[in-house]
C-alpha cells in the first residue's frame, strides 16, 4: 500500500503494483509544473506557470511558444523552468532517464 497524492503515486510508485495500477493515468492531468521543472538556464521564456499547474493546462501553449516557461512563485519570482521537450516527452510517455538504458 502507498499513501500519497495522485501525483506522488504516478511520479514515484513505491511498488510494481502501484506502477501497474497507475500506468494508464493521464499524466498531463496529474503531474504539475513543479515535477517537470529544472533550474533556469538563462533562456528566454515564452510564458509563466504556477508550480501547481497541471501540465494539461499549459501543454499547448508551451509547445506553440517553443520556449521554456518560467515556473514562478506567488510573488512572480522564477523558481525554475519547464521545457517544451519535457512536456512533449511526458505526453508521449517517454522517460528520458530510461532512454538508452
Please choose, from the candidates 19, 38, 52, the residue with its C-alpha nearest in 3D space to the C-alpha of residue 80: 38
Per-residue confidence (pLDDT) for residue 1, from 0 to 100 = 76
The class of domain 27-92 in CATH terms is alpha beta
Per-residue confidence (pLDDT) for residue 81, from 0 to 100 = 97
Q: H or E element: which one contains 69?
A: strand 69-72
Per-residue confidence (pLDDT) for residue 96, from 0 to 100 = 62
Per-residue confidence (pLDDT) for residue 93, from 0 to 100 = 84
| Pairwise CA distance, residues 95 & 77, whole Å | 29
Per-residue confidence (pLDDT) for residue 56, from 0 to 100 = 97
Low-confidence stretches of the chain (pLDDT < 50) are: 98-101
Around Cβ 26, how many Cβ atoms within 10 Å? Answer: 12
Amino acid at each position: 500500500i502507498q499513501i500519497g497524492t495522485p501525483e506522488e503515486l504516478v511520479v514515484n510508485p513505491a511498488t510494481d503494483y502501484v506502477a501497474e495500477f497507475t500506468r494508464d493515468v493521464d499524466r498531463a492531468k496529474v503531474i504539475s509544473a513543479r515535477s517537470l521543472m529544472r533550474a533556469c538556464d538563462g533562456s528566454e521564456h515564452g510564458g509563466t506557470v504556477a508550480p501547481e499547474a497541471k501540465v494539461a493546462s499549459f501543454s499547448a501553449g508551451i509547445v506553440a511558444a517553443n520556449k521554456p516557461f518560467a515556473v514562478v512563485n506567488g510573488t512572480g519570482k522564477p523558481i525554475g523552468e519547464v521545457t517544451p521537450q519535457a512536456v512533449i516527452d511526458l505526453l508521449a510517455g517517454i522517460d528520458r532517464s530510461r532512454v538508452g538504458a
